[in-house]
Chains A and B, each alone.
Chain A
Amino acid sequence: MADYSVEIQDVVKYHSATLAVDHLSLEVRPGEFFSLLGPSGSGKTSTLRLLAGFERPDHGDIRIEGRSMRDVPPNLRPANLVFQTYALFPHLTVFDNIAFGLEMRRLSRAEIDPRVSAALDMMKLRGKRDRLPAQLSGGEQQRVALARALVNRPAGLLLDEPLGALDQQLRQDMQVELKAIQEQVGITFICVTHHQEEALTMSDRVAVMNHGRALQVGTPQEIYEAPASAFVANFIGVSNGLTGRIVTITGARCTVSLPDLPTGPTILARRPAGAVEGSRVTVLLRPERLHLSQDVHLNGFENALPARVSKAIYNGNEMQYLLRLSDSVSWKARVPNSGGDRKRFLPGEVIFVRWNADEGVVLTE
């Protein structure tokens, strides 16, 4: 048994003149739910198509269960793909769609029938076996697509934006269900998505991609708590930034001066690894971790900066505020609309943004 279920080794792929995948190397462990997270054009779908065998790498190699896939066509690869649009065969019934892969492997009817039936049961599709895809709802079509791939018991299941075509409610239910299915079958899942919440909810590990490279690979917690770069931080929703210089270092904390702000204040932050006094750093903060108040006192928080409210947007369960800290620095804050005690702020008001040092992500430059 190989140490890794799927290995991508220094893969380069050009689409005519554009570089789609740029010296990408990734290892996916057996039974892992691994997500490729990135914006469109980040090379995540190209990577998936390379894994499926629809495209060949210009450089590098892909190994599945330790075996090089260099000259292996899609039909002989131990991986199956669930297409974003499902690509169900419109002329075949649900049963025949799911049986397709087994038939191609020339299994006998006696072997095919029980396996397809078991797949139908697992996906709660028992009553739909003789329907055509056009007669199914979106959620049902997706389950057929999953069953059609899983019934082959591949070494790796590839999912291209698996929840992209579903509506919001179904999408959240399927996140949980997909993860449960993965744990039940114990197959390695490699999932492509541009939706950070989806990736963080379902995955054991996530690779954040941009411009054909993996910028950071880690558990959802690592990615969320300690993004390694400004791009990763931004992509998973840490959108407020300040640049400054470390003035003093005390243990695991440091003081950062902020020359971009008019009063030239300092804030307290976590000390990034390898930083010394004088290092230039960027401090990033999540909009939902900021506390807004008219009170100038810290009241238990470690940092407070003055800001002017430039927009207040009512958004159902929360208020979204656009804040100006200076002419060039604007932040977003999200405050839940819970209870009646919370004060709402109006545009033009000057308030204080408060947070604790540990909430900030600090990146060295």
Chain B
Amino acid sequence: MRGRRAWLLSASLADLVFLYAPIAVLMLFSFNASRLSATWQGFTFQWYRLLIEDVALLAAVQNSLLVGVISTIIATVLGVSAAVSLERVPFRGQRVVEGALLLPLVIPEVMMGVALMLFFVLIKLPLSLVTVTIGHAAFNLPIVAVIVRARLHKLDPRLEEAARDLGATPWQAFRRVTLPLLMPAVLGGALMAFTISLDDFIVTFFTAGPGSTTLPLKVYSMVKSGVSPVINALSAILVLVSMALIGLSLALQREREGQK
């Protein structure tokens, strides 16, 4: 037994190294005084200082946050409605709609990006932050819907009936009983959506126009002109923020289940 345990432990340790070693190196070198990233020449915060002084970069951050917040709100409202109608109101062709809704999760993102771009060109909507936001809302909707629906599926439908029986209209029953119980999943889904929006490159690449550079696009253009330790610093921040958001999202989704 002991041997088996040790073996399993070292295997998972190897997994962690495999996953996080590159990120750890990246973070470490964001504090490296050397301009050439390959060797360690002492500790510095100067790359972080350069980062916050970069006006173009801050504009990209601002764009990313704007797109993230608005696309998340849209995806959350639509995703929750989709989840509720799929779970609670049976209708003809439900399975087809369900499949169609989840398809964006599995089709290659490049296709999604190209398709969105062609669509916007077709309806003559100039590529801008608006089109980026719509694009992000589109791929985030199914993510929110899946997360919320999983929670809704575990919710006893009799709770809604009880509310109705006690005098609540369908809307009041949703507002006072279903939504509060779904809240962990709604917030978890929204955070997940926000994180994915913040990190997205491909769909953004195809749907962005002049002046609508988001953070990942900015990083990409910076890398093209050579990897500077500033990129390391930026990436370190992005990774930490994303991990925090995802961690929070998972914690929220797990919350109420722990109570049962």
A residues apposed to B, CB below 8 Å:
52-54, 73-77, 80-81, 83, 85, 87-91, 100-101, 104-105, 134, 148-149, 152
Contact call A54/B161, Cβ cutoff below 8 A: yes
Known: A81-B161, A89-B162. 4 other contacts (CB 8 A): A76-B167, A83-B161, A104-B167, A152-B167
Q: Which residues of B contact A73 (CB under 8 A)?
A: 164
B180 at the interface (CB under 8 A from A): yes
B165 at the interface (CB under 8 A from A): yes
Contact call A52/B165, Cβ cutoff below 8 A: yes
Closest 4 CB pairs of A and B: A104-B167, A101-B166, A87-B162, A87-B158
A119–chain B nearest beta-carbon distance, Å: 13
B167 (CB) vs chain A CBs: closest residue: A104
22 contacts between A and B (CB under 8 A): A54-B161, A54-B164, A54-B165, A76-B167, A80-B165, A81-B161, A83-B162, A87-B156, A87-B159, A87-B161, A87-B162, A88-B162, A89-B159, A89-B177, A90-B259, A101-B167, A104-B163, A104-B166, A134-B259, A148-B166, A149-B165, A152-B167
Contact call B165/A81, Cβ cutoff below 8 A: yes
A80 to B169, CA, bound (A): 15
B26 at the interface (CB under 8 A from A): no
Q: Give the size range of B's interface with the partner.
A: 10 to 19
Contact call A80/B166, Cβ cutoff below 8 A: yes
B46 at the interface (CB under 8 A from A): no
B158, B161, B165, B181: the one within 8 Å of A91 (CB): B181
A85 (CB) vs chain B CBs: closest residue: B158
Contact with A along B164-187 (1 / 0, CB 8 A): 111111001000110011000000
B260 at the interface (CB under 8 A from A): yes
Q: Which residues of A contact B167 (CB under 8 A)?
A: 75-76, 101, 104-105, 152
Give the residues from 94 to 126 in chain B that come closer than 8 angstroms, CB to CB, to chain A.
none
A196–chain B nearest beta-carbon distance, Å: 26
B142–chain A nearest beta-carbon distance, Å: 27
Q: Which residues of B contact A90 (CB under 8 A)?
A: 159, 181, 259
Contact call B168/A104, Cβ cutoff below 8 A: yes
Known contacts A134-B259, A134-B260; A100/B181 CB under 8 A: no
Q: Which residues of B contact A152 (CB under 8 A)?
A: 166-167
Q: Which residues of B contact A81 (CB under 8 A)?
A: 161-162, 165
Contact call A75/B165, Cβ cutoff below 8 A: yes
Contact call A74/B180, Cβ cutoff below 8 A: no
Contact call B181/A74, Cβ cutoff below 8 A: no
A101 (CB) vs chain B CBs: closest residue: B166
A76 to B259, CA, bound (A): 34
Q: Which residues of B contact A53 (CB under 8 A)?
A: 164-165
A87 to B156, CA, bound (A): 8
